[in-house]
């Protein structure tokens, strides 16, 4: 009886969370990467171009013109290291301590399923996905963690933007999207299903 009541309570809480709009409402895809289904690292390497070694967890790419950058990260090994866990697309260099490969794919063309990519407007993001779960102001060294190998005292920190729109779901849903907004336009997008 007690177990039935607990199950009923959990179902009620999930239902209440869904009714309050707490389900993940952000994008499910960025280019060929998806958070609603597994995408193999191998398929992304085939599309982007193979790195010299596939032994690591983080792989860095840039567009041919050197103006768009992508970081591809594996899922945590406990889940499946053959699967991509998150991608970060940006208009600034985001790898300082890893080799950067020129991508075969046109990184500027990497957009969400709703057509949101770099340089989309803040209003376009809000129209596509609604109100974010949270909005954060970027100050000083906030969000510097998105640049692999960045040192806090470095004088050449790129402009990461003014704010971040965060889209998350219920506590047991690892889906997350972050849009870095700089002067009203998207400067970076992080899409993740990783822990």
- What the block records as the tokens of 79 is 């889940």
Judged against a pLDDT cut of 80, whether residue 14 lies above it is answered with no
Residue 112 per-residue DSSP state: B
pLDDT of residue 77: 66
Contact criterion met (CB below 8 Å) for 85 and 193: yes
Judged against a pLDDT cut of 90, whether residue 84 lies above it is answered with yes
Question: Tens of pLDDT along 115-124?
Answer: 999 999 999 9
pLDDT of residue 174: 86
**DSSP codes, 148-193:** BT--TT-TT-----SEEEEEE-STT---EEEEEEETTEEEEEEEE-
Judged against a pLDDT cut of 70, whether residue 184 lies above it is answered with yes
Return the number of other C-beta atoms located less than 10 Å from residue 19's C-beta. Answer: 9
pTM of the model: 0.85
Give the C-alpha separation, 185 to 98, whole Å: 27
Contact criterion met (CB below 8 Å) for 182 and 154: no
What three-state secondary structure class fits 138? coil
pLDDT-derived band of residue 12, with 50, 70 and 90 as boundaries?
Answer: very low
């Amino acid at each position: 009886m007690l177990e039935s009541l607990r199950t009923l309570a959990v179902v009620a809480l999930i239902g209440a969370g869904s009714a309050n709009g707490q389900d993940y409402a952000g994008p499910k895809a960025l280019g060929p990467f998806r958070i609603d289904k597994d995408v193999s690292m191998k398929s992304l390497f085939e599309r982007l171009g193979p790195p010299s070694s596939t032994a690591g967890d983080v792989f860095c790419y840039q567009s041919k013109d050197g103006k768009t950058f992508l970081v591809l990260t594996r899922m945590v090994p406990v889940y499946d290291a053959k699967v991509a866990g998150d991608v970060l697309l940006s208009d600034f260099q985001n790898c300082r301590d890893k080799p950067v490969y020129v991508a075969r794919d046109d990184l500027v063309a990497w957009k969400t399923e709703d057509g949101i990519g770099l340089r989309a407007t803040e209003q376009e993001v809000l129209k596509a996905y609604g109100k974010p779960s949270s909005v954060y102001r970027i100050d000083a060294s906030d969000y510097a963690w998105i640049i692999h190998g960045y040192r806090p005292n470095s004088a050449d920190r790129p402009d990461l933007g003014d704010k971040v729109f965060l889209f998350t779901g219920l506590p047991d849903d690892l889906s997350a999207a972050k849009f870095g907004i700089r002067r009203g336009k998207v400067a970076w997008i992080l899409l993740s299903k990783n822990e």
